[in-house]
Chain A
Amino acid sequence: MSDASALRRRPELRCTAEISRYQRAWFAALRERVADGEPFAVLSADSPHEIYRAMDIPYVVVQWWSSLIAAKQLGPRYLSTLASAGYPDTLEQYNALPFGELLADDPGTAPWGGLPRPTILQGALSSDSMRQLYETWARRSGAAFYPLERSVDVRWKVEADWWEQLPEHWDEFLAAERLDLLTDELTGLIHSLERATGRRFDETSFAEAMRLSNEQARLNRGTRDLVARTVPAPVSAGETMPAVMIPQWHRGSGWARDAARLLNAEIRERVEEGVAAHPGERLRLMWLGRGLWSSLGLYQHFQERHDAVFVWSMYLGLAADGYLRSFDGGRDPLRALAARFVPVGEELRMPTWSSAWHLKEAKLHRIDGVVSLGEEDFFSVRRLEEAGIPVLSVRANNVDRRTWSEAELTDLVDRFIEERVWPARHERSA
């Protein structure tokens, strides 16, 4: 199933290259800080990065590093290393790849000189095996593991319009006991980090990180709206994925806010000047699920072939709708941070929320067809199809190239566009 070639992304924006250059320089500096003896944390994407930001503890986000491993075509090798050590290689690949890199112990071939050995690991217990995986990783690396629980929304009736309610009304929209739990856990985490690193948590720095992250979210919301309302789209999803996500992993910093502003400004400029990702755009596509980081050019492949542009991925969508939590009126920024992470995952995978959001975003972006990869998507598919938007569901894992190939995917999407998207489009137009 795997293929060695990778469709490379054609640059569309100036800022993406600038953002990527910063990331390389930042990572090189991080390696130096860690080499000098500073603590180093590896965090899952749904961990409270803002606390580490405020305490100036260097960190890397697991999912970013895994996407880099995938982009360097090293995924199969590290998964094989896991299997050789007796660990599963078909579970939690997105979280497990850096652990595979650790076991492979070959920095010479690892991306960017390799991920430094962590002193802190943090993950939310979002699946059945996250606790075992991270505890095992901690044992093998010598890191301290700080888990966070993932509570469940047990209410029998929940409102669907989370994207409208959460930014301002999170303290009414979410169950109080869930917010209490995570706020208490974060309080304990701060104490643990202070003890482990000798660094002091500064409330002023933290509140500033929260303000900056909210500002970043507002900018992303503006960017998303620009992309959604502009036909032809000023930029494709293959371009916005790195341009949004690299700053996302620096959330709470001035640089991340500025990068989001840069992205917004450049896209606004393109809209004003009528510059499009593909001027001949005739179809607009949506990518549901995790991104193909090792093959970002695949998203642009269908532009020339079908005049079809992938305009939506969850990365800009969630950056626009999922992170903003106002804490004005004397509200506790730590509780606002808890409100950012209590529902994370539910926005994407709890049917009541995810299906409503996917439909809302599809309509907002005037989507003609949806490709869904590796998602449990029954309710989203049903609602989208009922709205006349065809969906292609593909069973594969985004960072495990053993489960998909570019040739197979392009063939599937080609046929999907010809056999379902165009007919549906004609039907809507008739």
Chain B
Amino acid sequence: MTQVDERSTTDGSRVAIDTVTSGRPWTEPLRSVYRAPWVAARRWREQGGRVVGLLGGCAPRELIMAAGMLPMRLRPAALDAEPPAPLPDGLARELTPSTAAVLAALWGGGLRWIDALLIGRDCEAHTKLFYVLRELAAERPDRLPPVAFSDMLRLPSRTSARYNRRRLADLRGVVGGWAERSISDAELVAAVADSARTAAALAALDELRIARRVSGADALLAAVAAQMLPGPAVREALAAAAGPPRTDVVPVFLTGSDLDDTHAYEAIEQAGAAIVGEDHGWGDDGREVAAATSDPLDGIVDRYQFSARRSARAGLERVVRTAERVRRSGARGVLQVIRPDDEASAWELPALRAALPDLPVHSVRLAQEDRPALREATAEILSTIGAIRV
């Protein structure tokens, strides 16, 4: 563990130098946690705090905050300073690359910087991971931290709403158990309010992005880091965000699979596009936040039940909301990026094209993290946009 921390610290310092030389010092703390979240987790824990790893954007972070713990959404590409030991071949095939990475880190001891794991039902791969962990824990309970699953349903029906409330109430008890205390309504209200302040800061950043004063890559960096750092630290960084407007780029909206890789964004933007908005599971334009409700659990449930982010288990109504966001962002084209483990996004393509008949909508399927394919797709869409302009 000590060895890991030393490497982590070294890695974090190198990140800081990179960002200073990039000329955007406001991104420095965001990039540090993006690249080496275990460093921030260690600091938090050294101060007596506890860290709960969140898998997915549907895991209700407000509960963790209300319990006084730090929710840190896990990036499968940044789980440990050391690469994890490979899983047995058959077990890796049971899972997606992302969930296999999480399991490998957990099973190999690389995720010891979290005190508990809360898995959200972003997709059925997460459900499968929960089942696999449960099965493995029955054999070796000492190798895993406490694990819970958040089963937030997405149909816009009263039956789902009532079920979600029961689940969230149960989860409140589980998280309270992790914190060794109960969670009060006042603490939930405070957590919701803090999340709202961070969301407002992200919404302000989104305006800068639409004005092309902040790149899509930096906006994604902020959105990812906001799911890892305490709210005040995120807001302090975002308060300094700004840059000169760029006029030499074409505004494009990104949809499809969850992307947490800023390099993928950079590949697209280096090809001449500016990603002025996205609706996948990592991006955050500040518009999805729990409302302040008399029973704070109501607002939290609504936030997750009616989220338009991520296509998995969503209906086609999501396409309508995507189209609205595309219009609002001023994008002149839409790029749909589909990763191999995404079974849902491809079904949206014809409906999305029908909803945006005047804009080019290009879809690219990635065999893996494939930046040349992203650049090529970007070139294609920019070419189409250019043809429309002519």
**Partner-B contacts on A (CB < 8 A):** 85-88, 91-92, 125-129, 131-133, 135-136, 139, 147, 149, 151-152, 154, 156-158, 177, 180-181, 184-185, 188, 350-352, 355, 376-379, 381-382, 393
Contacts and interface: CB of A to CB of B under 8 A. Distances in A.
B167 A177 contact: yes
B147 A351 contact: no
Contact of B163 (A129, A136, A151): A151
B135 interface: yes
A351 B163 contact: no
Contact of A149 (B90, B149, B155, B349): B155
A131 B93 CA distance: 25
Contacts of B14: none
A377 B93 CA distance: 9
Interface in B29-72: none
A350 B138 CA distance: 14
Given A149-B163, A393-B90, A129 B132 contact: no
A27 B249 CA distance: 59
Interface string B304-325: 0000000111111000000000
Interface in B336-390: 342-344, 346-351, 353
A140 to B, nearest CB: 10
Contacts of A185: 157, 159
A147 B151 contact: no
Return the 4 tightest CB-CB contacts between A and B, nearest first: A132-B347, A128-B312, A88-B346, A86-B350
A128 B311 CA distance: 8
Interface SS majority for chain B: helix
Given A128-B313, A131-B313, A131-B314, A158 B134 contact: yes
Nearest to B318: A132
Nearest to B150: A154
Given A151-B153, A158-B134, A125 B90 contact: no
A133 to B, nearest CB: 6
A154 B151 CA distance: 7
A132 B135 contact: no
Contacts of A125: 155, 313
B343 A376 contact: no
A129 B159 CA distance: 21
Nearest to A130: B313
Given A132-B344, A351-B131, 7 more contacts: A87-B347, A88-B347, A91-B347, A129-B312, A132-B316, A154-B148, A351-B135
B91 interface: yes
B137 interface: yes
Interface of B: 88, 90-91, 93-94, 121, 123-124, 127-128, 130-132, 134-135, 137-138, 147-149, 151, 153, 155, 157, 159-160, 162-163, 166-167, 170, 311-316, 342-344, 346-351, 353
B160 A87 contact: no
Given A135-B316, A156-B147, A177-B166, A86 B124 contact: no
Nearest to B163: A181
Nearest to B350: A86
Contacts of B138: 157, 352
B237 to A, nearest CB: 33
Nearest to B352: A86
Contact of A177 (B91, B121, B163, B343): B163
29 contacts: A86-B350, A86-B353, A88-B346, A91-B347, A125-B313, A126-B124, A127-B343, A128-B123, A128-B311, A128-B313, A128-B343, A129-B343, A131-B314, A132-B315, A132-B344, A132-B348, A135-B315, A136-B350, A136-B351, A149-B159, A154-B149, A154-B170, A177-B166, A181-B159, A181-B160, A188-B159, A350-B131, A352-B131, A376-B94
Contacts of A85: 350
A131 B315 contact: yes
A410 to B, nearest CB: 23
Contacts of A147: 155
Contacts of A149: 153, 155, 159-160, 163
Contact of A91 (B94, B313, B346): B346
A136 B319 CA distance: 12
Given A92-B343, A149-B159, A158-B134, A132 B90 contact: no
